[in-house]
Amino acid sequence: MGKTNGWGILATGWIAELFTQDLIAAGLKVAAVGSRSEAKATAFAEQFDIAKAHGSYEALVADPDVDIIYVATPHPHHAEAALLALEAGKHVLVEKPFTLNAHEARLIVDMAREKNLVVLEAMWTRFLPHMKRIHEIIGSGTLGELRSLSAEHRQFLPTDPAHRLNALELGGGALLDLGIYPISFAFDILGAPTSVQAMARFQATGADALVATVMEHRGGAISTTVSTLDSAGPNVAVVYGTKARIEIATVWYQPTSFKVIDQNGAVLEQFDETVSGRGMQFQAFEMEALVQSGQWSERMPPDQSVEIMQTLDTIRQQIGLVYPGER
């Protein structure tokens, strides 16, 4: 048996609560939590019965009982927190989107490589059972040659201009909070795009309310995505091949079911599997296995996280979206 890894939770917001719930339910060790507010760290520790609460990120990454840092700050602070943890010799799981831009992403990956540490983007969808099975089906040739993919992420989210989701200075908007899911999915299934076309609609705060993309991938396959934070949708996804298609039920990026349907409409496979909690524990299992082996993820390679951020940069250039304080 290998050493039990101690997880450190860096920041105490909603996503940190969800992940910590799944960590604990899965029997993994949450050793400490850190916040810029000692009161928030203490409250979080009491809520989840965590042994240590640190009133600074610096104290958290210096904790000898912490081996893996989970970065759950707002997007603009991902790079700073991840680099702080890596400098302290900790492995890092960074919430999606990996960073604010590709420049920051490269800094993280370069430092992790230099220090021989594991870094992983917390794109938890990639590690869910239905996604694993989808890759097996595609790999078996059941779909034939892949021709296209469509995926949406439509939500009706808080409209308060001061809310993080609508605040440009916090990286708010549809692209980084919602669009990261279908765009990362397109990378996962079809590979990096060879061309990108994007359009957007903006709200009064300057943040993007809707972003749509059409991307061409290797072999001429096309992906289409729509992400919006001001109108809810069914959030389904479809992968099309020359022999069959996969229809992923709502909500496609969470634990769900799917059908494999041939060109005559016959159902070749129906996938249903019950998952406990939200399903975020699967990315934690991946991270722990990577730390034990000393390898980087094949399912979510850090270099691909950089490529994804570069594509998001390209999309932002096309739609004219710039975040305050960016280099």
Assign residue 66 the CATH number of its domain: 3.40.50.720
Do residues 136 and 249 both lie within one domain? yes
In a domain, 326, yes or no: no
Express the helix, strand and coil content of the chain in percent, nearest 5 each: 40, 25, 35
Do residues 185 and 255 both lie within one domain? yes
Instruction: Find out whether 34 and 41 touch, Cβ atoms under 8 Å.
Output: yes
In a domain, 200, yes or no: yes
pLDDT exceeds 70 at position 327: no
CB-CB neighbours of 276 under 10 Å: 10
Rounded CA-CA distance 238/321 in Å is 28
pLDDT at position 173, please?
97
The average pLDDT across 231-245 equals 98
Do residues 68 and 198 both lie within one domain? no
Do residues 151 and 32 both lie within one domain? no
In a domain, 254, yes or no: yes
Least confident of 133-137, 160-164, 206-210: 160-164
Question: What is the chain's mean pLDDT, rounded?
Answer: 97
pLDDT exceeds 80 at position 291: yes
In a domain, 182, yes or no: yes
In a domain, 303, yes or no: no
Do residues 176 and 315 both lie within one domain? yes
Rounded CA-CA distance 313/321 in Å is 9
pLDDT exceeds 50 at position 1: no
Confidence of residue 37 (pLDDT cuts 50, 70, 90): very high
Q: What are phi and psi of 227, to 5 degrees?
A: -135, 130
In angstroms, the Cα distances linking 264 to 2, 221, 267, 269, 325 are: 50, 22, 9, 14, 53
Do residues 164 and 230 both lie within one domain? yes
Do residues 104 and 217 both lie within one domain? no
∠ CA 68-90-309, rounded to 5°: 85
In a domain, 327, yes or no: no
pLDDT exceeds 50 at position 48: yes
In angstroms, the Cα distances linking 98 to 54, 166, 170, 309 are: 24, 19, 14, 7
Rounded CA-CA distance 219/190 in Å is 9
* The pairing of beta strand 6-10 with beta strand 29-34: parallel
Do residues 174 and 315 both lie within one domain? yes
pTM confidence score: 0.96
pLDDT at position 325, please?
79
Do residues 133 and 237 both lie within one domain? yes
Query: For residue 248, is it left (φ>0), alpha (ψ between -120 and 50) or beta?
Result: beta
Q: Percent of the chain beyond pLDDT 70?
A: 99
SS3 track for 274-309:
CCCCCCCHHHHHHHHHHHHHCCCCCCCCHHHHHHHH
Confidence of residue 3 (pLDDT cuts 50, 70, 90): confident
Among the listed residues 29, 96, 115, 259, the single catalytic one is 96
Do residues 138 and 84 both lie within one domain? no
The domain in which residue 112 lies consists of: 6-125+280-296
User: Which tokens belong to 270?
Assistant: 């129906």
In a domain, 304, yes or no: no
pLDDT at position 2, please?
60
The average pLDDT across 236-252 equals 98
pLDDT exceeds 50 at position 218: yes
In angstroms, the Cα distances linking 47 to 21, 57, 61, 184, 278 are: 10, 19, 21, 33, 18
**Bridge partners, 199 (sequence order):** 212
Q: Percent of the chain beyond pLDDT 90?
A: 97
Please write the tens of the pLDDT for every residue from 50-93: 999 999 999 999 999 999 999 999 999 999 999 999 999 999 99
Do residues 247 and 157 both lie within one domain? yes
pLDDT at position 237, please?
98
**Count of structural domains, the chain:** 2
The average pLDDT across 183-192 equals 98
Instruction: Find out whether 186 and 217 touch, Cβ atoms under 8 Å.
Output: yes
Please write the tens of the pLDDT for every residue from 301-325: 999 999 999 999 999 999 999 999 7
Return the CATH number at 258: 3.30.360.10
The average pLDDT across 199-209 equals 96
pLDDT at position 245, please?
98
Known active-site residue 40: no
In a domain, 136, yes or no: yes
Please write the tens of the pLDDT for every residue from 263-287: 999 999 999 999 999 999 999 999 9
Do residues 145 and 270 both lie within one domain? yes
